[in-house]
Structure 1
């Protein structure tokens, strides 16, 4: 009986740990800075939208980026909701009396939806990249791969 409880606890810890690991931001999620809608409230709005100013975009480029965002906004929100719901269901399965196969199935389902979301975001990043000139691309890439760029020293 004790072995069974320990086994269940171990499976739960592995499954939750894997879910948390998947939920952590990855390099790919840093590539999608452009996904943050400009109309949403931010704790520090100037800082979150600063990357647009850093790129010195033309009004046409800004409009094209807005269109790219708007085209996938609903799908991205839907996938994000699916992930949140799936994670709650996974939690409930782990806490409940679900079989290992049921728990694993839910985990794999969440993993698939996360991959679909990442793919959509990456496609948006590629679309935005096509709008930018070489200098803007360099700044865009620098911004994506550096969370907090170091301060310039003179």
Structure 2
């Protein structure tokens, strides 16, 4: 799985509309990406949702083969929730430190393209320079790859 798979799921008007909601977009994204990877993508990638990290009580959003994937999606109208959201991104990246030896980690932050610049600035303000930004028609995706 890579950023192009996320683009395939969210680069449409349905996702653009959901990105305006105050909640539920992240859960929708996780389910749609699971469906895309298991059913739509050819060849399909065997992917599981909510997999427990080894020796850790926390769960990973998706595991596709040897790749552990954490997703975050921020709705455009969740004003006032930015700091909590950025803290949750940091927690997800930290969780990826628990992936099994030899596995890859992938963190993705998906936001409406209209707030992509503000989110990029928030990353810079926190000193997070390892994320790569990919812009699609409707969304901006910030991704980070790690290895154990």
Whether these two folds match at TM > 0.5 is no
Structure having greater relative contact order (Cα 8 Å, sep ≥ 6): 1
Q: Which has the higher strand share?
A: 2
Larger radius of gyration: 1
Normalised by the shorter chain, which TM-score bucket? under 0.3
Question: TM-score under structure 2 normalisation?
Answer: 0.27
Q: Which has the higher helix share?
A: 1
